Structure 1
Amino acid sequence: MTATSSQPPAMPEIERKIRQSIPTEYVQQWLKIQPKRAYRDLALDWLAIVASLVLAAVVPTVWTYLLAFLVVGTSQYKLFILAHDAIHGALHPNRRINDNLARWLVYGPLFMALEDARRSHNDHHRYMGTPDDPDRYLHTFAAKNSPFQFLLYCSGLATFGKTVLKVTPFGKLLAAQNKTSTGRLKRPNDPKISRALDDYFKQRIPVLVWQPLLILVFLLSPLSLWSYLILWIAPIYFLVFVTDEIRAFCDHAVLLYPDETGDPDRLISFRPPWWEAQIFSPHHMNYHAEHHLWPSMPHYNLSKAHRLVRNRPEVTVRYSYVAFLWKVLCNLPLGDRQ
């Protein structure tokens, strides 16, 4: 799709057009959630974590620690992707079970909170391809339009604070504050700040339960306490946070400048090599265009939807995350930034 003198269709219109082209009976079948699949996926991901930590404890070498770091981190990210399904109610058909699985088996161990993640992510789906998308800074070339800026972004350092703040009640307050005419910061004793603090800690009860338990497990195991930092905290940063920032960029980035000219083309899916999918898009997260078209579709049915939309001109299909990142790096800067 190329920019023309006429106004290009907005993303909601594009998505609606594609949805209407797919037979309803197909979609209804794809939206069915298999509860046993949720338990199986969660169990296998946790089993990989436990097995790799046991190996590092029994055979404490540099290589087993490196293997544990990689397996723990990629498995943590797999759990994170399953919790993403839970955000949309697509992990388990029972909403209470769906939410509690995400809270207690994913977000608590990973220092996160379901409600804040759901609020921010639903806004991303609602406003994707517009200036109101809370994730827009991840997709565009703002602060990424030079090789150095882009590599800094890919390190996670450029966006860590903004992304973490976004998925807290304070991020919601700040977004509302930025829309006011005064722009004045609220005082700490403001009732809204107090409510945000209460909300923050209430949502993070699973975190406050899980982290002391994890520390205790490391203390009582043959693994030393610093292993908690190397084999649990560090993988969350390098193989969950950084990986997700890179994937989020790849899933919506378009090599066009100015950024708004690429907005109609941000429905993108990948068909990557197996090893790339294990790192960047486990549990079928590579079918990202299909996920945006049907957010409540469980991950294991997205490939079925992909077969019917992959040849549409509104959907871009890429074949490698690494190749796309290299292409971006080789084409920077885009346009003339003053």
Structure 2
Amino acid sequence: MTAMDKTMSGGVSRDVPTRPALAATPDDSAMLRAAVDLTRDLGKAKPSIYWPDFLGSAALGYAGLAVAITTSQGWLVVLGGLVAAVTLYRAASFIHELTHIRNGSLRGFRLAWNMLVGIPLLIPSFMYEGVHTQHHAKTRYGTVDDPEYLPLALMKPWTLPLFIVAALLAPVALIVRFAVLTPLGVLIPALRREIVARYSALTINPAYRRRPPEGELKRRWAWQETGAFFWALALIASVPLFGWRPLLTGVAIFSAVAVLNQLRTLVAHLWENEGEPMTVTGQYLDSVNVPPPAPLAGLWAPVGLRYHALHHLLPSMPYHSLGEAHRRLTAHLGAGSTYQRSNHAGMLPLVARIARSTMRVG
């Protein structure tokens, strides 16, 4: 029994035959070499793409939020809410880029993202930086030490709806995290250690424990958490000043953002690893690309996330270069290659595949 088995033994069955173990997949050296050789000129992040995309998404999102809060017409409330959810989701998704971009390549972008989106949505980047990169570590991916992995395809059927429904509670949980737990942690050091370990990372693995930050991350953590604390207090204080509608509307929209992201997370991988360390090719085959012509993938997997499997091959590749990298690799490696095996048609077939796998577990 693996470490992941022990952690998730209440939800994973070992009596059901599964696909050949991904952990035993040998590396496809031709694919790995091509991924590097064919994309050497694509690795530079372009501020001329990042900034307009991020700022435009944030502006549209807050405009939609303002409409949803202030209008009295029901259809405009719904329209504003939908626009806000989709575009704020896109703006928030740039947190993923923050963890991978090279230092100095996008000066000021981290600060702007935190001030405009991270702190207002109570997801400051310290919650992801220093955590997400562990998901890419060869010795951690798919194991109990991976903060972003659960063997969902091998778990009981009830875990899938629970996985999605839990995201609905994210806005309230984050308000409590910053408005209540942050000041309590200052007063109670033992509680602070627990807060850092268990409630300071955007993860899906309940067994993951975060280490205290060090160096530059520790300094960024301090000011970002302070900002989130004051913003959470301001949200609570807004109720007696402006009534419940602004806060509840914002919570509803952010819940929609969280559910969108959770659905995207559900189909970012096949979740078929049983807890063993994997080869890079095994990680790739357990991950998902949803390339064109899938019409809606750009909405539910924005900022390059539709190429999640390719991202695991080239984690430092800027999001705007992933489409071209995919086209080059597809043309070079051809049909029937290992590379093609991680391409899928869309969200619904992937959800159905994972659901069928859980049904076999029963």
Q: Is TM more than 0.5 here?
A: yes
Task: Give the structure 2 partner of residue 243 of structure 1.
Answer: 260
Match in the other structure for 2:245: 227
> How far apart, in 1, do the equivalents of 2:305 and 2:69 lie?
32
Quote the RMSD (CA, aligned, Å).
4.1
Which deviations, in whole Å up to 9, do the C-alpha atoms of 1:269-306 show, x marking residues without a partner?
A: 1136333431x212221010121112221111111111
2:319: which partner in 1? Answer: 299
- How many angstroms apart in 2 are the aligned matches of 1:290 and 1:20? 13
Deviation for aligned residue 1:104? 1.5
- Are 1:115 and 2:126 an aligned pair? yes
State which of 335, 352, 357 in structure 2 corresponds to 1:326. Answer: 352
5+ residue gaps, structure 2, are 1-18, 178-191, 200-211
Higher relative contact order (CA closer than 8 Å, sequence separation 6+): 2
TM-score by length of 1: 0.72
Q: 1:300 to 1:101 in 2, by over 3 A?
A: same
State the Cα deviation string for residues 31-83 of structure 1 (Å, max 9, x = none).
Answer: 11111212201221122123324444664212111112211111121012112
Question: Cα deviation per residue 1:117-163 (whole Å; 9 max; x = unaligned)?
Answer: 111101111122333211112x5336x421x33222222269969x9
Contact 2:160/2:355 (8 A) holds in 1: yes
Equivalent in 159, 168, 179 of residue 149 of structure 1: 159
- Aligned letter for 2:256? F
CA distance in 1, matches of 2:291, 2:47: 26
Shift of 1:201: 5.2
Q: Which of 73, 76, 87 is the aligned partner of 2:85? A: 73
2:265 aligned partner, one-letter code:
A
Letter in 1 for 2:270: A
1:133 corresponds to 2:164: no
- Measure the CA separation in 2 of the matches of 1:169 and 1:106: 27
Superposed structure 1 runs of 4+ greater than 4 Å apart? 157-161, 168-172, 197-201, 209-220, 256-263
Aligned to 2:41: 29
Decide whether the 8 Å contact of 1:85 with 1:298 is kept in 2: yes
Q: State the percentage of identical aligned residues.
A: 19
| Pair 1:313 & 2:324 matched | no
Matched residue, 2:228: 207
Question: Which residue, 140, 155, 173 being the options, matches 2:197?
Answer: 173
Distance 2:304 2:298 in 1: 8
Instruction: Specify the code of the residue in structure 2 equivalent to 1:20.
Output: R
Tell me, in whole angstroms, the C-alpha distance in 2 between the residues paired with 1:200 and 1:83.
14
Name 1:101's counterpart in structure 2. Answer: 112
- CA drift of 1:250 comes to 0.9
Whether the aligned pair in 2 keeps the contact of 1:129 and 1:266 (CA below 8 Å) is no
The aligned residue for residue 31 of structure 2 is 18
| Mapping of residues 23-62 of structure 1, within 5 Å | 24=37, 26-56=38-68, 59-62=71-74
Match of 2:287 among 244, 261, 267: 267
Q: Does 1:88 align with 2:106?
A: no
Deviation at 1:212, TM superposition (A): 6.3
SS at match of 1:22: helix
Q: Aligned partners of 1:333, 1:300: CA distance in 2, in Å? A: 38
For 1:66 and 1:134, the matched residues in 2 are separated by 35
Alignment gaps of 5+ in structure 1: 176-191
Preserved CA contact (<8 Å) 1:19 1:293: yes
SS of equivalent residue, structure 1 residue 155: helix
Give the Cα separation in 1 of the matches to 2:92 and 2:260. 11
Residue 142 of structure 2: SS of its match in structure 1?
coil
Which digits, 9 at most, give the CA deviation of each residue in 1:239-279, with x for residues without a partner?
A: 2x22222212211125x58576998231321136333431x
- Give 1:203's aligned amino acid: Q
Give the SS at the match of 2:101.
coil
Counterpart CA distance in 2 for 1:294 and 1:55 is 40
Aligned residue for 2:144, secondary structure, equals coil
Aligned length: 300
Report the counterpart of residue 3 of structure 1 in structure 2.
20
**1:283 aligned residue:** 303
Q: Matched residues in 2 for 1:97 and 1:234: separation?
A: 30
For the 8 Å contact 2:135–2:148, the answer to whether it is kept is yes
Which residue number corresponds to residue 189 of structure 2?
Answer: none
